[in-house]
Chains A and B, each alone.
Chain A
Amino acid sequence: MLKKLTGGRIYDPAHGIENEVRDIYILDGRIANRPDDTRIDEEIDVRGKVIMAGAIDMHTHIGGGKINIARTMLPEDHAADVVARTELMRSGSGHAAPSTLTAGYRYAEMGYTAGFEPAILPINARQAHMEMHDTPIIDKGGYVMLGSDDFLLRMMAANKDQESINNYVAWTMNQSHAIGVKVVNPGGINAFKFNQRKLDLDENNQFYGVTPREILLRLARAVKELGVPHPLHVHGCNLGVPGNMNTTLDTMDGIEGLPMHMTHIQFHSYGTEGDFKFSSGSAQIAEAINRHKNITVDVGQILFGQTVTASGDSMRQHAAHPHAHPNKWVCMDIECDAGCGVLPFKYKDQSYVNALQWMIGLETFLMVDDPWRVFLTTDHPNGAPFTSYPHLIRLLMDKTFRNDILSTLHPEAQKASHLASLDREYTLYEIAIMTRAGAAKLVGLADRGHLGIGGAADITVYTDDADREKMFTTPDYVFKDGTMVVKDGNLIEVTWGTTHVVKPEYDISIEKSLKPYFDKYHTQKMGNFKISDDEIIDDGRGSLTVQPLHVGGPI
């Protein structure tokens, strides 16, 4: 079955192609060379349309224990957005923490073809994969959370060599089927269990005598040396705390040039100036990002309205509980492995703090020079649900639109921000970098996020429209692995994506120490902790795609 998309305007930053009219051929789910004499089975006229690879959400909470707690605890939020069954689609519910089925459909309808769960607890990885297994159409994968787990901290306290740490990291990535490694409030989730209420970058965990800075260095080095393409994914210390910009700057400086991705940077860019003792640190943060070429960030933009925050950071979520709206919240300690906190939250445009958060996020987008190192996220659902991405894209691409909204926000917050003076408008090419080529490169997806020969035929076709929100809300066509799944913004076929992983090598002898450790301290056997390939494939709908590693080895 050979398909031809004729005459589209191609935006393919991975190949440096910006707005060039070319034809695309699709054969067996892949982008193919122009055939010499093969008959074309289906030709789709896309003349004048904007063509990009399918979008990739590199940080979205779509599967795992905490998001399922969020779903269960918010029936009122779902009730306002229930989704009826159709001939094609299962019923479900949407808004802040949508059901898995609805999430998959809505991502596809928006032109997204992959999403990555950023916080997979090793002990809860099985559940994260179960939920992603029930998320249709899009490809998925996740970053496994380390840094507050007893085994790692124990190794660090015993001053084990880097090779042993690498081995443990690689083992954990393999067993939990991850494509990256995440650290959340390094060591802080663990410290909270010992009743520590904050943990600064150089503060010791009281039991292990290990600092967040040391944890970050050990893990960032492990990821680099193992050849894992995705840099260590860092949710830093002191999330949400006024003045945390200094911690963030210190974290960047302290990583010794190792690749590091700092996630939802907006929540970590706060100063303490002004009457409200809360100010924007985005200028200094963006300047530091521009200077440190080893650093990538995603923004974690907030948008106004009701949502729910679901985080592994039990320490900071507990501290934030007085802000829960409505007033209900969950914090959990989990298996001497990690933790979580779930708080419904309403961002209000007439709140000084919330308005400034909105501005800080946008300032960061606009002041980071290199679109290959900044990514479009709302930290779904923590800043806003992913369905608000088209609105966010318009905010970035349309200065007038942005400033019109800005002028309606809390007046003191407007005075505290220089957002109105930022003239930058993102181009379509830059949007394609942030949401496609750059995201694929960052996650480590060799065959996605681009339109080169041999790449997966995940393709989104848009009608160019000055209203960018409208344009990015309803693509004309979305192809997933060559199958047309969306036409005129509506789902027409349901497919099931693959799970992307990497498989760094490890020395099996590590199990000699892990097996007795599980026997002695855990409530699950090591053998039952490990997730087999069959469990991902399950009823045949799932599949694993092993992405290539970089050349690793000690630095």
Chain B
Amino acid sequence: MTEMTDSGMWLEVSSPFCGIASDDLTIKVDGNTVTVIKNGDAVTKKGFETPITDLSPRVKGQAVSLDKAVKHIADLLRTSKQPVIGGMATDLNGARSAMALADKSRATIDHMFSTHSFKNILVLQDTGWMTTTLTEVKNRVDLLLVIGSDIEVGFPRFFERMVWNKESMFNQDIESRQVVYLGTAPSGEASTSPKGKKAQVLAFDTANLPEVLSVLRALVKGKSIQAKSVGGIEVSVLTDLAEQLKNAKYSVVTWAASMLDFDHAEVTVQTICEMVKDLNLKTRSSGLPLSGKDGETTANQVSAWQSGFPMRTSFSRGYPDYDPYLANSNRMLAEDEVDTLVWISSFNIDKTPPKSTAKTIVLGRSGMAFEKEPEVFIPVGTPGIDHVGHAFRTDSVVSVPLRKLRDSGLPSTFDVLTAVEQAL
């Protein structure tokens, strides 16, 4: 458990800022100043150390009491014809309160990263998949195939914690693990083994990933391919990779949907997942979608159990109405369909609401700067720093308890939205 030692140090702190949710951080708290002392990285350091600047809610740029801000939000929602609750970067209870408010105010609910999450969710809903979780990877992976993703940028400690760990449960020689990058080359050395073995990189323009993966899947299935090269890579190289996958005892195929930046990437994710299923007819192989920042996994989990549907669900008709196209908040905002936007972003000051004509309410992390001052801004606490909470990891299985590390007085998203719901 996260605990405070006599010296004001917090041990075993979980990070809600990165999808792999490392929980071995040591953190020092002095007043409102938080410093990651041990096991920090670029993502978690920024996450924990962003200073508090605002403490007061604002309406139209004027400082007001929290009560007044809450009342103003309730007034806006009461008269709104098409509200959206977006962003959704919050913890378990924040997501619960947003769902309750969406239900009551007949809002559409969406997460800031849905464009990426839906590259995976659409596959789950169309054909399904075989996936694994981080501890399995840590103890079993013998071949890690990375598809089109520079993992260490988004998940700096993934290799350290899950691939180049010191030992595994099953006496595996850790150094013997193979890492192959398909498409994107890694930007750093995180994927290099402790003894200096570099990842095998099969680099090509990632726009060709759909084509290359189709061929790789065909090869895994034992189909013969006439072409000599595809998408800038020799078919013989892919044939070797297919053999590697078939010979591996526990391969893991991973991708960060946020890094598959081309149209209809869900079809490529589907190809990956179907290939993994094919491999499992003879050996074991698993997919590992990497995501889960800014409450992405948490929001989809809570939404699924409370409504039956993931994000991109509208309550405008009084019941959950799931439509990944119509209830896409980016599209709705861009096409001026929204009159009121409640934007929740409690982790990252850079994640501000998209430009739109909607009256905008921001429940944001203290320190957020806006191009255009929103109608209402309430600086809210960050889960895992200012209040307790829970966050789901990328694998949608493990959730981490988040602790209150300081007493900033900032309200939680749950407190604010629950007050709004009651005021409606």
Interface residues, chain A, with chain B CB atoms under 8 Å away = 63, 65, 68-69, 71-75, 78-79, 82-85, 90-94, 97-102, 121, 123-124, 126-127, 130-131, 134, 150, 154, 192-195, 207, 318, 324, 327-337, 342, 520-525, 527-528, 530-532, 535, 538-539
Contact check: which of B96, B300, B320 meets A72 at CB < 8 Å?
B300
Q: Is there contact, CB below 8 Å, between B399 and A525?
A: no
Q: Closest Cβ of chain B: how far from A137's Cβ, in Å?
A: 15
Contact between chains at A69 and B305 (CB < 8 Å): no
Task: List the 4 closest pairs (A to B, CB-CB), nearest first.
Answer: A93-B308, A527-B1, A78-B308, A328-B128
Take A85-B319, A126-B399 as given contacts and tell me if A73 and B125 are in contact as well, using a CB distance cutoff of 8 Å. Answer: yes
Q: How far is the CB of A94 from chain B (nearest CB, A)?
A: 8
Indicate if the CB atoms of A535 and B401 lie closer than 8 Å.
yes
Give chain B residues whose Cβ lies under 8 Å from the Cβ of A78: 308-309, 320, 322
Residues in B with CB closer than 8 Å to A539 are 93, 414
**Contact for A82 among B133, B249, B319, B396, CB less than 8 A:** B319
Contact at A528–B2, with CB atoms within 8 Å? yes
- Cβ–Cβ contact B319 & A83, under 8 A: yes
Closest CB of chain B to A313's CB: distance in Å?
Answer: 14
Task: Find chain B residues with CB under 8 A from A123 CB.
Answer: 135, 397-398
- Least CB distance from B298 to A in Å reads 10
**Are the CB atoms of A93 and B320 closer together than 8 Å?**
yes
A residues near B250, Cβ cutoff 8 Å: 193
B201 within 8 A of A: no
- Given A93-B307, A98-B308, A195-B284, is A69 in contact with B138 using a C-beta cutoff of 8 Å? no
Ordered by A's residue number, 15 sampled pairs between the chains whose C-beta atoms are within 8 Å are: A65-B396, A71-B305, A72-B310, A78-B322, A93-B308, A100-B305, A123-B398, A130-B305, A150-B139, A154-B169, A318-B130, A324-B128, A328-B124, A333-B286, A524-B398
Asked if B306 and A134 sit within 8 Å, CB to CB, the answer is yes
A-facing mask of B394-421, CB < 8 A → 1, else 0? 0011111100000000000010000000
In angstroms, Cα B402 to Cα A474, docked, is 43
- In the complex, chain A residues whose CB is within 8 Å of the CB of B306: 90, 92, 99-101, 134
Indicate if B370 sits at the interface (CB-CB under 8 A): no
* Complex-state Cα separation, A141 to B170, whole angstroms: 34
B52 on interface, CB distance cutoff 8 Å: no
Q: Are B103 and A99 in contact (CB under 8 A)?
A: no
**Which one, A92, A329, A333, contacts B307 given CB within 8 A?**
A92
Shortest CB distance A102–B (Å)? 8
Smallest CB-CB separation from B280: which chain A residue? A318
Cβ of B129 and Cβ of A523 under 8 Å apart?
Answer: no
Cβ 8 A contact of A527, one of B2, B301, B318, B390: B2
B322 touches A79 (CB 8 A): yes
Q: For the complex, give the distance between the alpha carbons of A121 and B396 in Å.
A: 13
B50 at the interface (CB under 8 A from A): no
Are A335 and B136 touching (Cβ within 8 A)? yes
The reply to whether B136 and A84 contact each other, CB–CB distance below 8 Å, is: no
B30 contacts A by Cβ under 8 Å:
no
Contact among B124, B138, B305, B310 with A523 in the assembled complex (CB-CB below 8 Å): B138
Max count, chain A CB within 10 A of own CB: residue among B96, B136, B169, B398: B398
Find out whether the CB atom of A99 lies under 8 angstroms from the CB atom of B1: no
Most chain A Cβ neighbours within 10 Å, of B280, B308, B317:
B308
Please name all residues of chain A whose beta carbon is closer than 8 Å to the beta carbon of B284 when the two chains form the complex: 192-195
Interface centre among B129, B162, B249 (most CB of A within 10 A): B129
Q: A130-B390, A193-B284 are in contact. Are A524 and B305 (CB under 8 A)?
A: no
| Selected contact of A524 from candidates B23, B283, B307, B322, CB within 8 Å | B23
B413 CB to nearest A CB, Å: 13
A121: chain B residues at CB < 8 Å are: 397
Roughly how many angstroms separate A192 CA and B250 CA in the complex, as a whole number?
11
Q: How far is the CA of A390 from the CA of B416 in the complex (A)?
A: 43
From A130, A131, A195, give the contact of B283 (CB < 8 A): A195
Interface residue from A63, A73, A333, A528 paired with B136 (Cβ < 8 Å)? A333
Q: B233 at interface (Cβ–Cβ under 8 A)?
A: no
Contact A75 B322 (CB under 8 A): yes
**Interface pair B23/A525, CB less than 8 Å apart:** yes
Contact of B135 among A82, A92, A207, A336 (CB under 8 A): A336
Q: Which residue of chain B is the closest to A528 with respect to CB atoms?
A: B23
* Cβ < 8 Å to A, chain B residues 104-118: 104
Interface status of B24 (Cβ within 8 A of chain A):
yes
Known: A91-B319, A333-B136, A523-B20; 8 extra A-B contacts, CB below 8 A, are A63-B305, A68-B301, A73-B124, A78-B309, A82-B320, A193-B140, A207-B170, A328-B128
**A85 and B124: CB pair below 8 A?**
no
In the complex, chain A residues whose CB is within 8 Å of the CB of B320: 78, 82, 91-93, 99
Would you call A130 and B92 a contact (CB within 8 A)?
yes
**Residues of chain A with a CB closer than 8 A to B93's CB:** 538-539
When distances are taken between beta carbons in the complex, the residues of chain A under 8 Å from B138 are 521-523
B208 within 8 A of A: no
Contacts A78-B308, A523-B134 given; does A90 touch B103 at CB 8 Å: yes
Given contacts A71-B308, A91-B307, contact A332 B128 (CB under 8 A): no
Determine if B397 and A65 form an interchain contact, defined as CB atoms under 8 angstroms apart: yes
Task: Report B308 CB to chain A, min CB distance, Å.
Answer: 3
Quick one: given A92-B306, A524-B23, are A82 and B321 in contact (CB under 8 Å)? yes
Which A residues lie within 8 Å of B3 (CB)?
527
> Nearest residue in A to B167 (C-beta to C-beta)?
A520
Measured between C-beta atoms, what is the minimum distance from A533 to chain B in Å?
Answer: 12
Q: How far is the CA of A331 from the CA of B124 in the complex (A)?
A: 11
Min CB–CB distance A325 → chain B (angstroms): 12
Whether B161 is near chain A, meaning CB under 8 Å from some CB there, is: yes
Inside 8 A of B140's CB, which chain A residues have their CB? 193, 333, 336
Given that A75-B309, A99-B307 are contacting pairs, would A521 and B169 also be in contact in the complex, using a CB cutoff of 8 Å? yes
Q: Mark B275-310, 1 if CB is under 8 A from A, else 0.
A: 000001001101000000000000011101111111
Q: In the complex the two chains form, what is the Cα distance from A134 to B139 in whole Å?
A: 34
A169–chain B nearest beta-carbon distance, Å: 20
Q: Report B-chain residues with C-beta under 8 Å of the C-beta of A192.
A: 284
Q: How far is the CA of A102 from the CA of B320 in the complex (A)?
A: 12
| Residues from chain A with Cβ under 8 Å of B398 in the complex | 123-124, 335, 523-524
- Beta-carbon nearest neighbor of B140 in chain A: A193
Residues in B neighbouring A327, C-beta threshold 8 A: 127
Instruction: Check B136–A130 contact: CB distance below 8 A.
Output: no
Whole-angstrom CA separation of A101 from B306 in the bound complex: 6
A525 x B133 contact (CB < 8 A): no
**A335 and B133 contact, Cβ closer than 8 Å, known pairs A91-B319, A130-B92, A520-B167:** yes
Given the interface pairs A332-B131, A333-B286, the reply to whether A127 lies near B399 with Cβ below 8 Å is yes
Q: Which chain B residues border A91 with CB–CB below 8 Å?
A: 103, 307, 315, 318-320
**At the interface, yes or no: B214 with Cβ under 8 Å from chain A?**
no
Asked if A334 and B136 sit within 8 Å, CB to CB, the answer is: yes
Is A84 within 8 A of B307, CB to CB? Answer: no
| B100 at interface by CB-CB < 8 Å | yes
Report the minimal beta-carbon distance from B296 to chain A, rounded to whole angstroms. 14
Q: Determine the chain A residues whose CB is within 8 A of the CB of B180 once the complex forms.
A: none
